[in-house]
Amino acid sequence: MFDFANQAYTLLIITVVFGELFTTVVVGDRNDGFRLANFLWSLALAISYLLVVITAPLCGAVMDYRAEKKRFLFFSYLATVFTTAMLYFVAPGYVVLGLLLIVISNYAYSMGESFIAAFLPELGPPESLGKISGFGWALGYVGGLCAAGFTLVVLGEATAENFERIRWVGPFAAGFFLLAAIPTFLWLKERGTPTPSQKGYLKIAKAQLLGTAAELRHFKDLTVFLVSLLFSMAGVYIIIAFAFIYGAQVIGWEAGVRNIMFVIVQITAAAGAIGFGWIQDRVGAKRTYQVTLGLWILAILAIWATPEVTALANARMGWAWQAQYVFLVVGCLAGLSLGSSQSASRALVGLFSPLAKSAEFFGFWGLANKLAGVFGIVALGVLQTLVGLQASILLCVALFAVAMAICWRVDEQRGRAAALAWRQERA
């Protein structure tokens, strides 16, 4: 249910509505093809992800030691809800306020994403984690479909002319998250056992992380996988942050087509999460993860080539296709890649994590994710100022290819055995 609830934030604020509103209306085109607006958007996201990089492992270590995963999750949830609701006050020209609220809200949301993931190893046997993670991601996309579908129909377009209505997207996303996450806090159990200690949080975190650093050689496959994840998620975060901006600025789609694309991506992402979650439990998490990276490479090449392929087909065949409708077909492949890759990576970390270190290891998962976000979004933000958004999107192809190459060194069975051996040694 938390996956269901938090998609209202990531879709409405980061991906579909507010990102486009911020770049095209709050900052606007300053005769530079929105390059400054895109750069400021990428900068806000990068700063929030950098804060996660610094704090996620520390919080994870404390949560394991004190058995306080649910408490930390609750505080991140409240902070996300409050700062998201405050986005109502970001009017055209209020660039600094918009940047500040995006940094804080996206930081709180991203920390909560790591906190909720830390519960995954407790929710079922290792052989079912792919299916469980896939179901969570899929339910998240259903939540996003409900939240963003209502927004796009009722609040309308992210335009200056419609600003007085669309500015309510922040309060609506906050309210959806606030209500839909209530079942999590009513029924999710904290199964960890706190370790008695008079130490403060900072001393606990330092001691735990130093201990984990000394044990990293025992978790070699997890370490290698997190490096692979760093590159793959850099590409994913670029797409999450810029896909709908790309549609508006490069494809030049109409509002109706944007809405159709949103629905297509949610449905295909949910199908990818469920389908590949089921496949993962049968063929292995590593193999599934690598297949999803291959899908991403095809999707990025299709995104980049859409305008040229459309023009070429029209010239050669005498057709009258519009790039925005060809882009809808590409959206199916992108959505399938999105749901499957995120679910597979989360499940693989769950398989490599002992229960007593789940929050800490998912803190490192959060670190890798958000460090990837910093690197990917800043790189894309700078690159698009030099060569434009369409050409710079090819950066994602290189990122996914590097991630695939690094993942070849991961041995899934050895990684699972290492987690089991660590538990048995301390039983």
Q: What is the percentage of the chain residues whose pLDDT exceeds 90? A: 28
pLDDT classification of 9: cutoffs 50, 70, 90:
very high
127: burial class by Cβ within 10 Å (0-12, 13-18, 19+)?
exposed
- Angstrom distance (rounded) from CA 122 to CA 119: 6
Whether pLDDT at 200 is above 80: no
- Angstrom distance (rounded) from CA 147 to CA 173: 7
Q: What is the pLDDT of residue 242?
A: 82
Tell me the per-residue pLDDT of 50-65, one tens digit each, with 9 for 90 and over: 888 888 777 877 887 7
Coil, strand, or helix at residue 199? coil
Span 345-356, mean pLDDT? Answer: 80
Decide if 130 contacts 342 (C-beta within 8 A): no
Amino acid at 88: Y
Higher pLDDT, 148 or 332: 332
Element (H, E) at 419: helix 412-425
Nearest to 280 by CA among 126, 169, 408, 69: 126
**Long-range contacts of residues 281-284, Cβ cutoff 8 Å, at least 24 apart:** 281/127, 281/128, 281/129, 281/130, 281/131, 284/412
pTM of the model: 0.75
pLDDT classification of 366: cutoffs 50, 70, 90:
confident
pLDDT classification of 210: cutoffs 50, 70, 90:
low
Whether pLDDT at 43 is above 80: yes
Decide if 23 contacts 245 (C-beta within 8 A): yes
Decide if 207 contacts 199 (C-beta within 8 A): yes
Nearest to 342 by CA among 133, 154, 188, 62: 133
| Mean per-residue pLDDT over the chain, rounded | 85
pLDDT classification of 198: cutoffs 50, 70, 90:
low
**Long-range contacts of residues 87-93, Cβ cutoff 8 Å, at least 24 apart:** 87/13, 87/18, 87/167, 87/169, 87/170, 87/171, 88/167, 88/168, 88/170, 88/171, 90/22, 90/26, 90/167, 90/170, 91/26, 91/163, 91/167, 92/25, 92/26, 92/28, 92/160, 92/163, 93/26
- Angstrom distance (rounded) from CA 364 to CA 358: 10
Ordered alpha helix ranges (H), 352-411? 358-387, 389-392, 395-407
Whether pLDDT at 122 is above 90: no
Please tell me the total number of residues recorded for the chain in this structure: 427
Higher pLDDT, 201 or 142: 142
Neighbours of 315 (CB within 10 A): 9
Neighbours of 191 (CB within 10 A): 13
Span 232-239, mean pLDDT? Answer: 89
Q: What is the pLDDT of residue 209?
A: 62
Q: DSSP letter at 33?
A: T
Instruction: State how far Cα 60 lies from the chain centre.
Output: 18
- Angstrom distance (rounded) from CA 157 to CA 166: 7
Span 131-146, mean pLDDT? Answer: 84
Instruction: State how far Cα 342 lies from the chain centre.
Output: 8
Tell me the per-residue pLDDT of 372-406, one tens digit each, with 9 for 90 and over: 878 888 888 888 888 888 899 999 999 999 999 99
- Angstrom distance (rounded) from CA 253 to CA 329: 14
- Angstrom distance (rounded) from CA 337 to CA 153: 26
217: burial class by Cβ within 10 Å (0-12, 13-18, 19+)?
exposed
